[in-house]
Amino acid sequence: MLLRRATRALSLAAGETLESLTLDNGVTVASQNFGGGVAALSVSVAAGSRIETETTNGLCALISKAAVAEASPSIAALGGTLTSAVTRETTSYTATVLKEHAPAAAAILAEAVSTAPSAAAFAAARDDTLATMSPVPMSSAALMEDLHACAFLETQMGAPVLGTTASVSALSETDAVAVMASPAYSTMWVAAVGAPASEVSAPFAGIAAPTSDLVPASQVSPAVFTGSDIKMQYDSHDLARICFAYEFPALKSTHATAAKLLSFILAAPPQDATSLYEPFNSHCKLTRELAEQDALVACEPFYIPYSDTALFGLSLVTKDVRIEDCMWYSCNNLVRLCFDVSQSELDRAKLAFKAAIAKTYASPGNVAAAYASDLALIGRVVPPSELVARVSDLDLKDIKDTAYNFIHDNDHALAAVGPLHELPDYNWVRTASYNYHY
């Protein structure tokens, strides 16, 4: 039933016309009508941890947290919700309200992204962030920060999005005022779903244009990939968490669509994403093999794109006595993508991909966030119909060529925490990227 409803939402979204306009101050506003009584607005600002320095690391995350704390009551008064997300390249705010309140929500968002938070809100955000920081990554999401630190060693691209205890504790609202006066915070993209651009663009037209040209983050902090690893041995932990990844192409590459589909060939999505997850009977060979070896607690492939690079890999959770088996089967299946993917695997992966896309585009908030991300990363909105068409056109050669170019005999980055006595060393995993069997 969920898939049927999501598929209907996808077809409705695909059938609506996308509108886009660029305001005099350079702000791009894209909009699309959407069935129902709810509208969503998402604003992405060209400011993330990649534009920070070692001393200001974590500043964008604090600004986002403080801005949401100050703006949420106003959005709640409209009967809506406000969320934010900070990445290495952008800070995004997404508000979901009734359609008649979309212009008011746009005004609130415009003020939030253009006005520095108060000293009290900034201090509260800083204290809250410091209270939740831990020197040991206790989740796979936290371990991804260490993975980026290994992948982009000694560059700002590898710095943690939330900052470090030392950097965050030294930040103040004056730092927020300074960075919000930079061209990065005047460069933004707006996506409106369920409300026309003409109704929501006026508040953003009042934002001052950048006083100078924005220097792309890729030039400020080049994303230089380095093969390296970090292992944090904690025998007291019940489970081992392992993340490892290869450098992949960005979304503008001809390989990007195949890179998105590789995740669905490699391992089944979590149970809430598809009914095909049951491990022992999964349509994904890696998921089946890990389940048969009692080495599967969690296995989630990922493709994380940025403006000039991307990471593709696996996030694994397994028992301490099954780490070596887990790594062997994971590496073997990664290399198998280069040589031995079957047509039935490709067909099932396309079906799973379309189901995941349909689920995402069933929510106005998700659609708005996805469109704003598209504008920031590639300069235009990619509608769901185009995504589905691109994936449908992929053949086995596309999949194998992409995997071969970026996985086969290539360096990797790895981060792991927990009881790691069975975890192979870097050279073992590096050698496993080249499989003589095929």
Per-position DSSP letters for 30-90, written without gaps between them: EEE--SSSEEEEEEEES-SGGG--TTTTTHHHHHHHHHHHHHHHHHHHTT-EEEEEE-SS-
Asked whether the predicted pLDDT for residue 221 surpasses 80, the reply is no
Asked whether the predicted pLDDT for residue 73 surpasses 90, the reply is yes
pLDDT score recorded for residue 217? 63
Q: Which helix (H) or strand (E) holds 317?
A: strand 310-318
pLDDT score recorded for residue 213? 65
Q: Does 177 lie in the same domain as 31?
A: yes
Band the pLDDT of 136: cuts 50, 70, 90.
Answer: confident
* Torsion angle of the four alpha carbons 174, 187, 191, 358, in this order, in degrees rounded to the nearest 10: -90
Percentage of the chain surpassing pLDDT 90?
Answer: 75
What average pLDDT does the segment 414-419 reach? 97
In a domain, 339, yes or no: yes
Least confident of 6-10, 337-341, 348-352: 6-10
Q: Does 161 lie in the same domain as 118?
A: yes
pLDDT score recorded for residue 273? 46
Residue numbers of the domain that contains 195: 18-210
Q: Does 355 lie in the same domain as 325?
A: yes
d(CA 28, CA 190) in angstroms, rounded, equals 6
Who has greater pLDDT, 126 or 277? Answer: 126
- Looking at every residue in the chain, the average pLDDT score rounds to 90
Domain finish residue from 162, 178, 210: 210
Asked whether the predicted pLDDT for residue 174 surpasses 60, the reply is yes
Asked whether the predicted pLDDT for residue 5 surpasses 80, the reply is no
Q: Does 276 lie in the same domain as 180?
A: no
d(CA 185, CA 176) in angstroms, rounded, equals 11
Q: Does 247 lie in the same domain as 171?
A: no
Who has greater pLDDT, 267 or 94? Answer: 94
What average pLDDT does the segment 69-89 reach? 96
Q: How far is CA 243 from CA 14, 236, 285, 313, in A?
A: 35, 19, 19, 7
